Amino acid sequence: MSGLAFFAGTHVMAQDVDKLTEGAVAETYEGFMATPAADFFTISNLWILIAAGLVFIMHLGFSTVETGLTQSKNTVNILFKNVFIVCMGVLVYALWGFNAMYPGDFNGFFAAGSPIANAFADADVFANMTSEYADYTYWADFIFQAMFAATAATIVSGAVAERVKLSSFMIYATILVCFIYPITGSWEWGGGWLNNFGGGEKEFIDFAGSSLVHAFGGYAALAAVLLLGARKGKYVGGKIKPILGHSMPLATIGVFMLFFGWFGFNGGSVLSADPQAVSLVFVTTTLAGCAGGLGGMFTSWALLKKPDLSMGLNGILAGLVGITAGADTIAPWSAVLVGLIAGIIVVFSVLFFDKLKIDDPVGAISVHGICGNFGTIAVGIWGGGFFLSQLIGTVAVSAFAFICSFIIFGIVKAIMGVRVSEEEEFGGLDVGEHGQEAYPDFAGATKG
Amino acid sequence: MSGLAFFAGTHVMAQDVDKLTEGAVAETYEGFMATPAADFFTISNLWILIAAGLVFIMHLGFSTVETGLTQSKNTVNILFKNVFIVCMGVLVYALWGFNAMYPGDFNGFFAAGSPIANAFADADVFANMTSEYADYTYWADFIFQAMFAATAATIVSGAVAERVKLSSFMIYATILVCFIYPITGSWEWGGGWLNNFGGGEKEFIDFAGSSLVHAFGGYAALAAVLLLGARKGKYVGGKIKPILGHSMPLATIGVFMLFFGWFGFNGGSVLSADPQAVSLVFVTTTLAGCAGGLGGMFTSWALLKKPDLSMGLNGILAGLVGITAGADTIAPWSAVLVGLIAGIIVVFSVLFFDKLKIDDPVGAISVHGICGNFGTIAVGIWGGGFFLSQLIGTVAVSAFAFICSFIIFGIVKAIMGVRVSEEEEFGGLDVGEHGQEAYPDFAGATKG
Amino acid sequence: MSGLAFFAGTHVMAQDVDKLTEGAVAETYEGFMATPAADFFTISNLWILIAAGLVFIMHLGFSTVETGLTQSKNTVNILFKNVFIVCMGVLVYALWGFNAMYPGDFNGFFAAGSPIANAFADADVFANMTSEYADYTYWADFIFQAMFAATAATIVSGAVAERVKLSSFMIYATILVCFIYPITGSWEWGGGWLNNFGGGEKEFIDFAGSSLVHAFGGYAALAAVLLLGARKGKYVGGKIKPILGHSMPLATIGVFMLFFGWFGFNGGSVLSADPQAVSLVFVTTTLAGCAGGLGGMFTSWALLKKPDLSMGLNGILAGLVGITAGADTIAPWSAVLVGLIAGIIVVFSVLFFDKLKIDDPVGAISVHGICGNFGTIAVGIWGGGFFLSQLIGTVAVSAFAFICSFIIFGIVKAIMGVRVSEEEEFGGLDVGEHGQEAYPDFAGATKG
């Protein structure tokens, strides 16, 4: 068929240069819109935009999960960080990241960024649309990717919660999102070395970002936590003293919102409205998330003798992270298996990091880092990918995220410190950093 | 028109076998995607998927409504149950329910289930898509229906809250969703006896499930509550002592989310993106929900002398449940009337069940059961359906749900008990069942 | 191209009569649905409906923002008002407003309303659809506009919170939404005098309602607050005593939900699924909201020495309000500038109104009124509009809203009073007006 491609095949690689088309038959936007290809283009473009909106609402999910699982005295601080991250993330992605991540021809390892175009006349958009993009406009592409960009920093935010210095974190997060996230992104989705692994024959596969987004965030978080240290009172006299969160309804709202947003995260990564591909992705994503929830619930029930809600919630997220790399290529019942395993892994992983005295208040390293690794490798087992390519890819992305995070956070630490004073930590970051409480007038508080 | 049907007519029956098409002209998926029919198919399929996402978020709505309207000491328990129900519901529907509810040719009363297909190669999907489904893929059909399946158990969850034993409820809910819900579903949407009532001439009409989903859940809840008994302290010395909830913001968030999700519940039940049908369904759904809200507000104001928020919220849900059976066939101003009546009914119904000492903490029996009956019958008055068929259908579904629920919950009660100890009920199910509080560190609590 | 218009051009005016098409080639709905134009129509119609759903969820956003930023003793009251406003707003818009706002040929200043049609047969819908509407059905048009209508009253609700008498506000809000909002709406979107300014050559431009919705609500709120007076204890002895809200998580959830809904508010105002226009609107809306957030954060940080979360949140809303008038015509980097300026303005504006002892608990006058003015004027600077037309238009709408609000609220005040007693204000409107507390059983309250 002439013009834009109608159907992208079953092995659609998300956000992948492989499926870019060569150009359209029409000479102008209006001309193109009069061709029969315009309808599929319009549907697909609309879906990418709706998916971008769904990924946006995941930031509400992250905010409430992190808030719910931490103490109420640090609530304003966590909310502020998350709101900042979204705002900053989108803007630096526009300023530098998008063009650094999708540079066109490049050396495969690193490309310089630049601001997105400001012109939006028909010809400009059309030129971009038809020569380099498949089933959606330049702007839809940008906004969908921009919503992803801030996620990495948000993952770190949860892990360093309740003791990180606000200004230090803001600087660190800005550098991470602006300069580092697009590099590993370009390796795969920008057509870099991982995308061309083994001459393209044994390419690395990461559909919607088990590695590029989640493991990236998880390992960046691990480095930051190692430099930051545990919260005071968490590990005392060789014992683990749980520091409980303050609102399980907030945490649950957050997980439901993340699940809801994941339909856009994975579903939009098909990069078209192709009925078969998007439908399958919805099914595998849902099945894996649900199986992960049951995995987390029953594993924690068996281990801890009580059915633990937060482990159920983390299990859902683990299942979703786990299926993200292969949501388009893993069959439904295999997706159940992937989700279930991820839901089991996350419980053991949370307990394991706690044993190592690596203090991660919300379990971000386990959910996103470890299950991101697992999900990527799962494509090499159940999703038709090459096992070794998957392993190398996820290790490369994780290691690069860890090292860069360690260096940046280390430099920030050396220059301005990364941790609040013990006094502020005890009194809460809300008052210490913001002079503002989360629940200043909560009359319900006077009742029993 | 050749190929897949473009337009399904004004009397589209949701999820109804009547509108299945005979087969497509193309021989392969790629071939079909190159036909002009592919665009409408793609739009419709995308809409079904988005609608599935919207129905998913209704589970957040149910969770927060139930949590908000109950005591804070039972919050983790309610959240856990709801999270479990979603995860379990989708998986058992994949394992058994979907094929039991849509069995193809069967005796009209009962069919055995089986796991959904695991293959997803082009040919498999295409074969399903063109011979048995209209404007969406096999996978979109499954995921949309799967999101509905768990709802019945969620409705019961609210009614039995604050005193039901967790493990017993989990077993009961699993059996109900896996084996019972698909049976009544098959009677109508699977092409069974209700769908062919009077030789198909006087068929029962239930567009999106006033009976098949809501009344089913409401009457299952009634049976469970009768076996379970009231909460301690609710009816003392012949008097009704209200047990208040703990967060009206949570309850309100829940109702807004349910309303939002209902656009997918009803709108997706058109089973295509047909502009006229989907638009009308959005209008009737919204008008009925809004009229129900006003009905509940003003009825409670008149009866109780104070404008009651929870009655306004229940009124909205009542209006939405009420219009669900005829959202595609009831004219807009009739939809206002249906919603208004439902909003009035729910207030009287809640007071009535309380008089009977049938303790339903969230009003689920009234909202879903009674208003589900009313909405189904309303199709026989304002929606072009046959009154008697509507009456028989809603009674049959309600009675079957009640009886099955009574038997299953009764057996579970006989074997392992269904109620927590008095001590645990007093101390709260959060600590008793989960060893976890919902608000363990709520510093706002120290302030006035 | 024959039939319905495919592409609406780059300077699409939202909700503007200019882009109505002349009629379709087909004679019936089914005939039309068989034409190639049907697909674009179907996509666009679906998008308008989804956008209506997104605008609906903004009411959840408003509810939680207002609730979070006010005291817990007034929570039920605020939630009740917001739930009432949505329900009432949709119904009076159906009863009168829609036809008053889109009257067809009229004098350009005022038209009488009438109920929406009740018939929904193919021919009726088709007649409306093809002669007066472009890329969506009569019903989709109605429901999208209906969701906007209630917003004006919701904006007022926040400004008068914590001391307004419930019944008085309900009467006032009903008159405002039913009779006043459609008048200014008709001036522009209904094809009235502003739309034909300068013979149409220098027409006023308000894409999605910076003036028609937001400034309208903001100035109506200003009038109401002037008549109502400040909350007791806010301004004592010439000093400003902050009255803090009770839940920053609720406020943050609200802003995320409003941002999410704005994709429908602005994106749906394209009134088709045109890929280029909708994509650009998503980009400018997001960039402006994010820039507004940073503007609010850093301005408050500089002024108040502490990074203030509520100013960050108000900054986001300010940026979104600011871009709303020109989301389709302002280039992306200009959108960043518009958002940033709005985010700065809102901080100064909030402080300014507080200096004037105009007590606006949630900053609604600044966010919607002042930034609505700014956003409208911004189209005359960065969006290709005529500066003077923009200035006249936003002043006219604001002044009309202020005057009408002043008269209506003044009459209500004279007849039945608009303010609760000092005793009730101190004890809280929840108990005083509703006999109901928001957190009656909040066990977390007993803990430290």
pLDDT digits 0-9 by tens, A96-122: 999 999 998 899 999 999 999 886 655
CB contact under 8 A, A250 and C249: yes
Per-residue pLDDT of chain A (448 residues; tens, 9 = 90+): 222 222 222 223 334 333 333 344 567 777 888 888 889 999 999 999 999 999 999 999 999 999 999 999 999 999 999 999 999 999 999 999 999 999 988 999 999 999 998 866 556 666 665 444 568 888 999 999 999 998 888 999 999 999 999 999 999 999 999 999 999 999 999 999 999 988 878 899 999 999 999 999 999 999 999 999 999 999 998 899 999 999 999 999 999 999 999 999 999 999 999 999 999 999 999 999 999 999 999 999 999 999 999 999 999 999 999 999 999 999 999 999 999 999 999 999 999 999 999 999 999 999 999 999 999 999 999 999 999 999 999 999 999 999 999 999 999 999 999 999 999 999 999 999 999 899 987 754 433 3
Tokens linked to A79: 């909310």
What percentage of chain B exceeds 90 in pLDDT? 81
pLDDT at C288: 98
ipTM, interface predicted TM-score of the complex: 0.93
What's phi and psi for B415, nearest 5 deg? Answer: -80, -50
Kindly provide the b/e burial profile for residues B76-108, where b requires at least 16 CB atoms within 10 angstroms of the residue's own CB: bbbbbbbbbbbbbbbbbbbbbbbbbbbbeeeeb
Looking at residues B79-90, what average pLDDT do you find? 97
Q: Which of B332, B330, B321 is nearest to B258 (CA)?
A: B321
DSSP label at residue B100: H
Amino acid at A430: D
List C-alpha distances in Å: B47 to A275, A348, A414, B86, B140.
10, 39, 52, 21, 9
- A295: distance to nearest CA of chain C, Å? 29
CB contact under 8 A, A52 and C282: yes
Chain A residues within an 8 Å CB radius of B445: 442, 445
CB contact under 8 A, A283 and B142: yes
In a mutational test of the B interface, the residue from A286, A317, A333, A429 whose CB has the highest number of chain B CBs within 10 Å is A286
Chain B residues within an 8 Å CB radius of C29: 7, 276
Residues 208-267 of A with CB under 8 A from B: 243-249, 252-253, 255-257, 259-260, 263, 267
- pLDDT for A287-339, tens place per residue? 999 999 999 999 999 999 999 999 999 999 999 999 999 999 999 999 999 99
Q: Rounded mean pLDDT of chain B?
A: 90
CA distance B404 to C127: 50
Enumerate residues 6+ apart whose C-beta is below 8 A from C69.
C158, C245, C251, C310, C361, C362, C363
Per-residue pLDDT of chain C (448 residues; tens, 9 = 90+): 222 222 222 223 334 333 333 344 567 787 888 888 889 999 999 999 999 999 999 999 999 999 999 999 999 999 999 999 999 999 999 999 999 999 988 999 999 999 998 866 556 666 665 434 468 888 999 999 999 998 888 999 999 999 999 999 999 999 999 999 999 999 999 999 999 988 878 899 999 999 999 999 999 999 999 999 999 999 998 899 999 999 999 999 999 999 999 999 999 999 999 999 999 999 999 999 999 999 999 999 999 999 999 999 999 999 999 999 999 999 999 999 999 999 999 999 999 999 999 999 999 999 999 999 999 999 999 999 999 999 999 999 999 999 999 999 999 999 999 999 999 999 999 999 999 899 987 754 433 3
CB contact under 8 A, C294 and A56: no
pLDDT at B417: 98
Closest residue in chain B to residue A319, using alpha carbons only: B87
pLDDT at B134: 66
CB contact under 8 A, C45 and B439: no
- Going by pLDDT thresholds of 50, 70 and 90, the confidence category of residue B28 is confident
Tokens linked to C138: 């009569």
Q: Taking a C-beta distance cutoff of 8 angstroms, is the pair A289, A340 a contact?
A: no
Dihedral of alpha carbons C217, C223, C224, C230, sign: positive
Q: Which of A211, A192, A213, A216 is nearest to A203 (CA)?
A: A192
Tokens linked to A393: 């890819």
- Going by pLDDT thresholds of 50, 70 and 90, the confidence category of residue B32 is confident
Amino acid at C20: L
pLDDT at B89: 97
Token pair 């199986």 is found at A291
Query: Which residues on adjacent β-strands are paired with residue B240?
Result: B235
- Going by pLDDT thresholds of 50, 70 and 90, the confidence category of residue B443 is low
Domains in chain A, start-ordered, CATH in brackets?
Answer: 17-436 (1.10.3430.10)
CA distance C264 to B149: 29
Token pair 């995070």 is found at A405
Chain C residues within an 8 Å CB radius of A258: none
CB contact under 8 A, C282 and A143: yes
DSSP label at residue A13: P
What's phi and psi for B419, nearest 5 deg? Answer: -125, 140
Kindly provide the b/e burial profile for residues B193-205, where b requires at least 16 CB atoms within 10 angstroms of the residue's own CB: bbbbbeeeebbbb
- A42: distance to nearest CA of chain C, Å? 6
CA distance C330 to A440: 40
Select from A82, A435, A444 the Cβ nearest to the Cβ of C439.
Answer: A444
CB contact under 8 A, B60 and A260: yes
pLDDT at A15: 42
Residues 140-169 of C with CB under 8 A from A: none
- CA torsion angle C269 C271 C273 C276 (round to 10): -60
In a mutational test of the C interface, the residue from A45, A116, A139 whose CB has the highest number of chain C CBs within 10 Å is A139
Amino acid at A140: A
Chains with 3 or more CB pairs under 8 A to chain A = B, C
Chain C residues within an 8 Å CB radius of B259: 56
CA distance C339 to C334: 9
Chain B residues within an 8 Å CB radius of C445: 442, 445
pLDDT at A200: 75
What's phi and psi for C383, nearest 5 deg? Answer: -120, 15
CA distance C217 to C219: 6
Chain A residues within an 8 Å CB radius of B436: 248, 306, 308-310
Q: Which of C434, C402, C15, C8 is nearest to C205 (CA)?
A: C15
Closest residue in chain C to residue A435, using alpha carbons only: C306
Chains with 3 or more CB pairs under 8 A to chain C = A, B
Tokens linked to C308: 């203030």
- A202: distance to nearest CA of chain C, Å? 35
Residues 354-413 of B with CB under 8 A from A: none
pLDDT at C33: 83
pLDDT at C20: 31
Residues 110-139 of A with CB under 8 A from B: none
CA distance C147 to A163: 43
Tokens linked to B107: 């005796």
Chain A residues within an 8 Å CB radius of B49: 263, 267, 278-279, 282
Q: What would the DSSP string read from start to end of A234-282?
A: TEETTEE-----S-HHHHHHHHHHHHHHHHHHHHGGG-S--HHHHHHHH
Helix-helix angle A248-267:B37-68, to 10 degrees: 170
In a mutational test of the C interface, the residue from A83, A164, A431, A439 whose CB has the highest number of chain C CBs within 10 Å is A83
CB contact under 8 A, C122 and B6: no
Chains with 3 or more CB pairs under 8 A to chain B = A, C
pLDDT at B371: 98
Residue A70 forms contact with C (CB below 8 Å): no
pLDDT at A21: 36
- Number of CB atoms found within 10 A of residue B358's CB: 18
- pLDDT for B305-331, tens place per residue? 999 999 999 999 999 999 999 999 999
Tokens linked to A206: 């990461």
Chain B residues within an 8 Å CB radius of A439: 442-444, 447
pLDDT at C28: 79
Tokens linked to C17: 């009569």
B18 has a pLDDT exceeding 60: no
In a mutational test of the A interface, the residue from B139, B157, B178 whose CB has the highest number of chain A CBs within 10 Å is B139
CA distance C297 to A141: 28
- A53: distance to nearest CA of chain C, Å? 6
CA distance B321 to C13: 37
What is the pairing mode between strands B239-240 and A235-236? unpaired
CB contact under 8 A, C33 and B308: no
- Number of CB atoms found within 10 A of residue C354's CB: 18
What percentage of chain B exceeds 70 in pLDDT? 89
Closest residue in chain B to residue C87, using alpha carbons only: B290
Q: What would the DSSP string read from start to end of C125-183?
A: HHHHHHHH-SSS-HHHHHHHHHHHHTHHHHHHHHHTTTTB-HHHHHHHHHHIIIIIHHH
CA distance C137 to C126: 8
pLDDT at C221: 98
CA distance C64 to B252: 9
Tokens linked to A165: 């210095």
CA distance B139 to B141: 5
Chain B residues within an 8 Å CB radius of A280: 120, 125, 139
Token pair 């609500």 is found at C217
Select from B57, B87, B438 the Cβ nearest to the Cβ of A290.
Answer: B87
Select from A255, A313, A332 the Cβ nearest to the Cβ of B118.
Answer: A332
Q: What would the DSSP string read from start to end of A293-339?
A: HHHHHHHHHHHHSS--HHHHHHHHHHHHHHHTTTTTTS-HHHHHHHH
Q: Is C242 exposed, middle or buried (0-12, 13-18, 19+ CB in 10 A)?
A: exposed
Q: What would the DSSP string read from start to end of A210-239?
A: IIIIIIHHHHHHHHHHHHH-PPTTTEETTE
CB contact under 8 A, A441 and C244: yes
- pLDDT for B387-429, tens place per residue? 999 999 999 999 999 999 999 999 999 999 999 999 999 999 9
What's phi and psi for A419, nearest 5 deg? Answer: -125, 140
- Number of CB atoms found within 10 A of residue A121's CB: 12
What is the pairing mode between strands C235-236 and C239-240? antiparallel
Q: Taking a C-beta distance cutoff of 8 angstroms, is the pair C150, C88 a contact?
A: yes
Kindly provide the b/e burial profile for residues C129-152, where b requires at least 16 CB atoms within 10 angstroms of the residue's own CB: bbeebbbbbbbbbbbbbbbbbbbb
Q: Taking a C-beta distance cutoff of 8 angstroms, is the pair B187, B193 a contact?
A: yes
- Going by pLDDT thresholds of 50, 70 and 90, the confidence category of residue B24 is very low
Q: Taking a C-beta distance cutoff of 8 angstroms, is the pair B277, B270 a contact?
A: yes
Beta strands in B355-426 (DSSP E): none
Chain A residues within an 8 Å CB radius of B446: 445
- A56: distance to nearest CA of chain B, Å? 15
pLDDT at A32: 80
